[in-house]
Structure 1
Amino acid sequence: MKITFLGTGTSQGVPVIGCNCETCQSLDFRDKRTRTSLHLEIEGKSVVIDTGPDFRMQMLRESINRLDAVVYTHEHKDHTAGLDDIRPFNFMQQTDIPLFGTPQVLDQIKTEFSYIFSNHKYPGIPRVLINEIHNLPFEVLGVPFIPVQVMHHKLPVFGFRIKNFTYITDANYIAPEEIEKIKGTKILVVNALQIKPHISHFTLEEALAFIEEIGPEKAYLTHISHRMGMHQRVQERMPKNVELAFDGLKIHH
């Protein structure tokens, strides 16, 4: 499995428009964070988790020229807004792209992108195949996914375990029965928004405590805001097995 962090930022990205804090003014490329998204190359398949507003730029930056499926964690715009940009893959591959999401997520996509699902389709619109997922194991083109339900304040969100890799974003609470699904994971990715408490995301301290509970060989933090601070300074304080992810980071597992 090859894992590429397409984006590691929060809903506003980093830098934030109009912000003059030292993180937003940083020249370190690791402090330039687009909206959170992940690319997996696994068993010959190219799968993206979430198509945020920066999806087009992310795919161009990483020279990804094939897309076999998209899996959605939840319906917020910073995770879905780039769906229209799957069109070049429709054209190149001459195929519809399967989308996987909960009924709630898919209903929101049908509302936001109603032209895709119109009875009279305009030429050149995205072509998709809808696949509902629930809190049960499922397959993405033969690749097994285990959904892990987490809470994003009061909104249920899915993280996913794929073999010994688990990816969780937009979480501030995970029930004990869902944590059991994660145990044994070798590589864990989890959101850590900032230092101070937040209503719907893990803080750095909460994320580190969760990582310690799971005990993976390696952990990465994502969905990071400018309030976390500059990448280099924060990384210096991390445990040996924990890294702040950054846009373009690649893991071979």
Structure 2
Amino acid sequence: MSTLSSTSTSSSSSSSSQRWLSRVLYLGTGTSAQVPAIHCLLPSPTTPRRPGPAEPEPIACAACSHAVEVPGSKNRRGCTSVALIGGGRPRADEPEELLLIDCGPTFYPSALTHFRPHSLPRRISGVLLTHGHADAVLGLDNLRAWTMGGLQSCVDVYLTKETMKVVEGAFPYLVDRSKATGGGGVGALRWKVIDGVTPFRVGGVEVTPLPVLHGFADGGSFGCLGFRVDGFSYVSDCHHVPPSTSSLISGSQTVTIDSLMPRRHPSHFSLSQALSFLLSLPRTASTSQMNGTSNGNKAGTEGQFELGILTDLTHRLEHHALQEDMDAFVEGLRGWVAKKRVQQQQKNKGQANGVAAEQSQRQVNGRSKKAKRHGEGSGPRWWAPVWDEEEAEMPGGEGRVVLKQEGRDMDEEQGDDNDSIDWETIHVPDIVVAFDGMVVDFDRKTGRPTGWR
């Protein structure tokens, strides 16, 4: 069990209402091709053929090798999907509810592996589909196990009209049972078309759609959805998050984001883009007013962004090496932010109140009106003096996220933009690499993540 390094030991403020979400189970954390990659496991075309059985070649890919050779490997990844569990009151004998985000080709084997050990509810209250690609919808037929196995009479599926068209083409018999050929069972699914913008309710919980862009199709951008429930936001597939969607995510205490590979991709965030997104999300008003702590973080409070989670990973990102890099990256950034706060406090000591007030008016979420370039989350690139996200995407530096020494040239390049950052508003969350079977627990009184396992 891992706990948040940024969590305060003091109790955090909260409203009297109880949140719905109690835990999230990651059923799949890999790309559509899954991990291990078959081409890493088969003999190379240059390997000479010899008669009779032979020892398999060593697997050169670190992630694929670990996935094959280590039982329970965190590098073995199915298609992205999560189960949200919440609601219920044990003392009142009220059962929990289960929401499923995406139902791809690896859903059923993942359910067989993880549902029972983690005591998931028997019924699925709703399935939320992010988009119509194969890795999100090809497991829909397996939902028959719930409706034909006596668990429930039907399963509600929430999807946009664009995704509905894909489902009608791929599974006509699931949409219109008269098109079934007979001789086999057909799941009873109830289709709920949403507009992809308006919040909607599933049972006792409100779900907020998070519109993003995920590549291109038919001469334009391909739309995709993430979803927010309570303080948990989930975006598994995107190459761009509009500022309006970043605002919807703002205030989330836990954010899961697409982080496909080290290099930039036309339909997904790279690792560097994912980190840029997490570090530049807009701050809520309550967040910007909080006092800092010695490690460069804010004390955990309602609406404070505490945990970033990377998902949708290819075999080019090995779990353990990446997590080590993330731990060092977060620790280094927190130390640097703490130093910048002290420097800013010393600099502001001698300033007149009128000047300080004028500066405060120019700053919005830590950004001045002069800021020329923003991060993927629409906030300022405050980390630029010590980390160049584009450099990490170049050949030779693939897969490594390393801070550099703050240099005078970088400071001068930033100019007034860097000087205008209000360092008291800058927060560095914990960043975790997701793995299949990972569970994140939440405090239902505050919505805060309490740890992961």
Provide the TM-score with structure 2 as the length reference.
Answer: 0.54
Give the CA deviation at 1:103. 0.5
Q: Secondary structure at the match of 2:84?
A: strand
Say whether the 8 Å CA contact 2:159–2:193 is kept in structure 1: yes
Matches within 5 A, 1:214-253: 214=281, 216-228=305-317, 230-238=318-326, 239=330, 241-253=430-442
2:136 corresponds to 1:75: no
Matches within 5 A, 1:169-184: 169-184=236-251
Looking at structure 1, the residues matched to 244 and 133 of structure 2 have their Cα atoms a distance apart, in angstroms, of 25
Query: Which position in structure 1 is the counterpart of 2:174?
Result: 116
Query: Which position in structure 1 is the counterpart of 2:84?
Result: 40
Looking at structure 1, the residues matched to 78 and 152 of structure 2 have their Cα atoms a distance apart, in angstroms, of 29
For 1:220, give the aligned amino acid: I
Give the CA deviation at 1:184. 0.5
Q: Secondary structure at the match of 1:78?
A: helix
For 2:264, give the aligned amino acid: P
Looking at structure 2, the residues matched to 60 and 173 of structure 1 have their Cα atoms a distance apart, in angstroms, of 34
Give the CA deviation at 1:118. 3.0
Query: Which position in structure 2 is the counterpart of 1:126?
Result: 187
Looking at structure 2, the residues matched to 13 and 243 of structure 1 have their Cα atoms a distance apart, in angstroms, of 19
Q: Per-residue displacement from partner, 1:71-107 (whole Å, max 9, x unpaired)?
A: 1000000111011111111022241100000001111
2:62 corresponds to 1:22: yes
Matches within 5 A, 1:49-64: 49-62=101-114, 63=116, 64=120
Looking at structure 1, the residues matched to 156 and 255 of structure 2 have their Cα atoms a distance apart, in angstroms, of 25
Say whether the 8 Å CA contact 2:177–2:186 is kept in structure 1: no
Report which stretch shifted further, 7-16 or 88-97.
Answer: 88-97
Give the CA deviation at 1:25. 1.1
Q: CA RMSD in A?
A: 1.4
Give the total of aligned pairs: 252
Looking at structure 1, the residues matched to 129 and 98 of structure 2 have their Cα atoms a distance apart, in angstroms, of 14
For 2:434, give the aligned amino acid: A
Looking at structure 2, the residues matched to 94 and 39 of structure 1 have their Cα atoms a distance apart, in angstroms, of 17
Q: Secondary structure at the match of 2:62?
A: coil
Looking at structure 1, the residues matched to 158 and 204 of structure 2 have their Cα atoms a distance apart, in angstroms, of 13
Query: Which position in structure 2 is the counterpart of 1:140?
Result: 202
Query: Which position in structure 2 is the counterpart of 1:4?
Result: 25
Looking at structure 1, the residues matched to 174 and 245 of structure 2 have their Cα atoms a distance apart, in angstroms, of 34
Give the CA deviation at 1:110. 1.4
Give the CA deviation at 1:119. 5.1
For 2:163, give the aligned amino acid: V
Identical columns (%): 31
Report which stretch shifted further, 46-55 or 212-221.
Answer: 212-221
Query: Which position in structure 1 is the counterpart of 2:295?
Result: none
1:208 to 249, 252, 275: 275
2:264 corresponds to 1:197: yes
Give the CA deviation at 1:5. 0.2
Report which stretch shifted further, 63-72 or 196-205.
Answer: 63-72
Give the structure with higher Rg (CA).
2
Give the CA deviation at 1:213. 1.3
Q: Per-residue displacement from partner, 1:29-56 (whole Å, max 9, x unpaired)?
A: 1100011100011212111100010111
Report which stretch shifted further, 123-132 or 185-194.
Answer: 123-132
Provide the TM-score with structure 1 as the length reference.
Answer: 0.95
Runs of 4+ in 1 over 4 A off after TM superposition: none
Say whether the 8 Å CA contact 2:212–2:241 is kept in structure 1: yes
Give the CA deviation at 1:124. 2.1
Looking at structure 2, the residues matched to 202 and 150 of structure 1 have their Cα atoms a distance apart, in angstroms, of 11
Q: Secondary structure at the match of 2:209?
A: strand
Report which stretch shifted further, 180-189 or 139-148.
Answer: 139-148
Give the CA deviation at 1:23. 1.4
Unaligned runs of 5+ in 2: 1-21, 41-58, 88-95, 216-220, 284-304, 332-429, 443-453
Give the CA deviation at 1:113. 0.5
Give the CA deviation at 1:22. 2.0
Unaligned runs of 5+ in 1: none
Looking at structure 1, the residues matched to 30 and 190 of structure 2 have their Cα atoms a distance apart, in angstroms, of 28
